[in-house]
Amino acid sequence: MKYTLARFILPITFIALSLTLGACNGKNDKNKRHGNNLSPALADSLKKAKLQKNNIIDKHLTWREMHLEGHVKSISVRQYSISMVGGNEERKLKSRKDNIFDSVGRLVEFTYYKTNGKFDLKTRISYDAKGNDTLAYVYDEAGKIDFKKITKYDAKGNEIERITYKADGKIHNHTLYKYDDSDHLVGTEYYDDKEILQKKGTYKYDSNDFKSESFLIDSAGRQGNKATYKYDENGNLPEIIYYKYDESVDNKLLSRFDKKGNAVEIISYTADGVAQSRNTYKYDDKNNTTEADFYKPDGSHDELKTIWYEYEYDKTGNAVKKSIFVVKDGKRVPFEVIESEISYY
């Protein structure tokens, strides 16, 4: 059985859609050398951006990067859809994923299950002495290797090459990453199973080392998917502009943030400056979304599309239940629930 690679090969995002860059401890040596007086929020945001290569290579290989608290050993996440039958809630499994971490907090195995609860596929990850993920095997239902991924790094710890092989040993796809002297990821090259170049990604950065522009070049040499990014003094991303192939503006995404860096409003505009959509968000003291409201192009509130979120936490502070509610027939009703079983070292 063949699977979609996105389910087990850790994601590479061509154009960052993330609207916040979470805080991360540590100083930025490059800006210290340049003498820039960065605010703590901006320094933290920049550190996070560089760790994830500005969301071009965006990996979540530790429980900390998954925003978990405590010394997590494993987490099993189940997502259920909920329907009301005779006044009672009826659950149906939509997805299940189990993650296992080693004693130093690295993700070493994750398993997907089918909607009937049976095993689907499993990925096991190995790390080198420097903590880089260098090898991953994907196993099918029969326990046989379906894919193998090899990842290579340079002396600075930058990922420079990723090759995925099929079960027969032939290449499935191949990606190369290129950096400048400041360790910015400035180029990506994507090859197919015949080692034919399919597309190239190019990335530029602003004076604070945040990604300021990205675009793709397809196999025919056409430039597309161009986007530009502007940041505020806290490292939030309040403006993204997307362009058409002819370099004219396609649409614009403007966002407003609270003091914690949470996006509280997102508005999408056409090239002519006409609002297409407006969404607003509310958060709890743990920065989890508690309400999402959606507005029509005329600015009126679309009450039928309001979504509410409720959480339950364990003693460590991790969410073990997330309940999602929507409006149906004028009433607030349960829609989905996500439950997590977490074990600790």
109-137 confidence digits (pLDDT tens) = 999 999 999 999 999 999 999 999 999 99
Percent of the chain with pLDDT over 70: 84
pLDDT at residue 18, rounded to an integer: 32
Mean pLDDT to the nearest integer, 165-186 = 95
Q: What torsion do the CA atoms of 80, 85, 89, 91 make, to the nearest 10 degrees? A: -20
pLDDT at residue 65, rounded to an integer: 85
The verdict on residue 280 lying in a domain is: no
Q: Can you read off the two tokens belonging to residue 36? A: 């820039």
The terminus-to-terminus CA distance of the chain in angstroms comes to: 35
Residue whose pair of structure tokens reads 């340079």 in the numeric block = 154
Q: Strand, helix or coil at 316?
A: coil
Residue whose pair of structure tokens reads 């996070």 in the numeric block = 48
pLDDT at residue 248, rounded to an integer: 94
The verdict on residue 95 lying in a domain is: no
At residue 27, does pLDDT exceed 90? no
pLDDT at residue 38, rounded to an integer: 62
Provide the number of structural domains found in the chain: 1
Contact 186, 203 (CB under 8 A): yes
At residue 43, does pLDDT exceed 60? yes
Distance CA(288)–CA(297), nearest Å, equals 27
pLDDT band, residue 20 (cuts 50/70/90): very low
pLDDT band, residue 14 (cuts 50/70/90): very low
Distance CA(192)–CA(171), nearest Å, equals 8
Q: Give the chain's length.
A: 345
Cβ density class 147-176: b for 16+ within 10 Å, e for less: bbbebebeeeebbeebbbbeeeeeebbbbb
Distance CA(147)–CA(110), nearest Å, equals 14
At residue 84, does pLDDT exceed 60? yes
Q: Which of 135, 132, 136, 125 is nearest to 158 (CA)?
A: 132
At residue 3, does pLDDT exceed 50? no
The verdict on residue 165 lying in a domain is: yes
Phi–psi pair at 206, nearest 5 degrees: -90, -175
Mean pLDDT to the nearest integer, 83-91 = 86
Mean pLDDT to the nearest integer, 251-264 = 96
Contact 166, 150 (CB under 8 A): no
Residue whose pair of structure tokens reads 């596929």 in the numeric block = 121
Q: Strand, helix or coil at 279?
A: strand
Domain boundaries, position 112? 1-61+106-243
Q: Which of 257, 250, 263 is nearest to 233 (CA)?
A: 257
Distance CA(174)–CA(163), nearest Å, equals 5
The verdict on residue 286 lying in a domain is: no
Mean pLDDT to the nearest integer, 314-342 = 95
Ramachandran sector of residue 182 (left: φ over 0; alpha: ψ -120 to 50; beta: rest): alpha
E strand or H helix at 49:
helix 40-51
Q: Strand, helix or coil at 240?
A: strand
Contact 263, 281 (CB under 8 A): yes
The verdict on residue 329 lying in a domain is: no
The verdict on residue 90 lying in a domain is: no
The verdict on residue 248 lying in a domain is: no
Phi–psi pair at 130, nearest 5 degrees: -90, 0
Q: Which of 127, 161, 197, 150 is nearest to 57 (CA)?
A: 161
User: Can you give the CATH number for the domain in which 150 is found?
Assistant: 2.40.128.720
